[in-house]
């Protein structure tokens, strides 16, 4: 019973993601992965009715971490802050001891290349994996979590390169670049966090055929 209660929020979020994927798979005529035209912008969250490639990548990065058992043993489920799913405001304004360590994946820069080659376009999307260890000792979680994130990301080829859009794989590379450690960002101080933080910079490279990117018209 306790396991169920601890995981109910996660289960709800995953259910929403799977529902989105099922919707796309059933819409045979939705070739351009567009929102359902029968749902107005002022009604239900119509943009959740399909999974664009960048959202797929974001979810896949989380999947890499959450299928790596040593990582999940270090970071509690409720302390993995996700900016997808049904929770519109996932960040915690005030942080208690049990809310740490905390990990979140934050999307940052996007570099579009409209004509990478004569027949393809390219997107370079950057993400930050941010860790707040909850302790001012580096051997009390900071380096351990860094190590397990590194190990988890080693599986990127299996997970990210399996993603498809328009029935074509599109991820060609995932490059973690730098990991910056420091004490207490201003945003964390405001939330009452006094600990080491670690920020991973990660870039995912995606290619699409130009023909697929164009909206088909009758």
User: pTM for the full model?
Assistant: 0.77
Would you state the pLDDT for residue 39?
A: 45
Is pLDDT at 93 greater than 90 in this prediction? Answer: no
For residue 84, what are the CA distances in angstroms to 6, 54, 88, 113, 200?
Answer: 19, 12, 8, 26, 19
Read off the pLDDT of each residue in 48-57 and give the average, rounded to a whole number: 81
- The CATH class given to the 52-213 domain equals alpha beta
Is pLDDT at 33 greater than 80 in this prediction? Answer: no
Is pLDDT at 14 greater than 70 in this prediction? Answer: no
Q: In 10 A of CB 121, how many CB atoms?
A: 17
Would you state the pLDDT for residue 186?
A: 59
Is pLDDT at 3 greater than 80 in this prediction? Answer: no
DSSP state at residue 50: S
At 97, the pLDDT band (50, 70, 90 cuts) reads: confident
Question: How much of the chain exceeds pLDDT 90, in percent?
Answer: 57
Of 50 and 152, the structure prediction assigns the larger pLDDT to 152
Question: Which segments of 45-142 does DSSP mark as H helices, in order?
Answer: 53-66, 69-74
Q: How do the domains of the chain map onto residue ranges?
A: 1-50, 52-213
Tell me: the pLDDT tens digits for 106-165? 999 999 999 999 999 999 999 999 999 988 899 999 999 999 999 999 999 999 999 999
Contact status, residue 45 vs residue 23, Cβ threshold 8 Å: no
CA distance 55 to 50: 10
């Amino acid at each position: 019973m306790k396991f169920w209660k601890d995981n109910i929020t996660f289960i709800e979020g995953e259910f929403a993601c799977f529902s989105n994927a099922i919707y796309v798979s059933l819409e045979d005529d939705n070739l351009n992965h567009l929102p359902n035209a029968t749902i107005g912008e002022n009604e239900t969250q119509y943009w959740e009715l399909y999974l664009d490639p960048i959202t797929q990548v974001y979810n896949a990065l989380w999947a890499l971490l959450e299928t790596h058992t040593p990582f999940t043993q270090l970071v509690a489920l409720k302390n993995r802050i996700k900016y997808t799913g049904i929770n519109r405001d996932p960040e915690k304004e005030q942080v208690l001891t049990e809310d740490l360590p905390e990990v979140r994946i934050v999307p940052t820069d996007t570099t579009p290349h409209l004509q990478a080659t004569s027949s393809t376009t390219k997107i370079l999307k950057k993400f930050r994996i941010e860790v707040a260890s909850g302790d001012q000792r580096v051997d009390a979680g900071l380096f351990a979590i860094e190590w397990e994130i590194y190990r988890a990301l080693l599986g990127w080829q299996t997970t990210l390169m399996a993603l498809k859009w328009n029935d074509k794989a599109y991820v060609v590379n995932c490059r973690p670049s730098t990991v910056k450690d420091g004490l207490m960002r201003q945003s964390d101080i405001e939330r009452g966090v006094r600990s080491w933080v670690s920020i991973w910079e990660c870039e995912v490279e995606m290619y699409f055929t130009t023909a697929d990117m164009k909206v088909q018209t009758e």
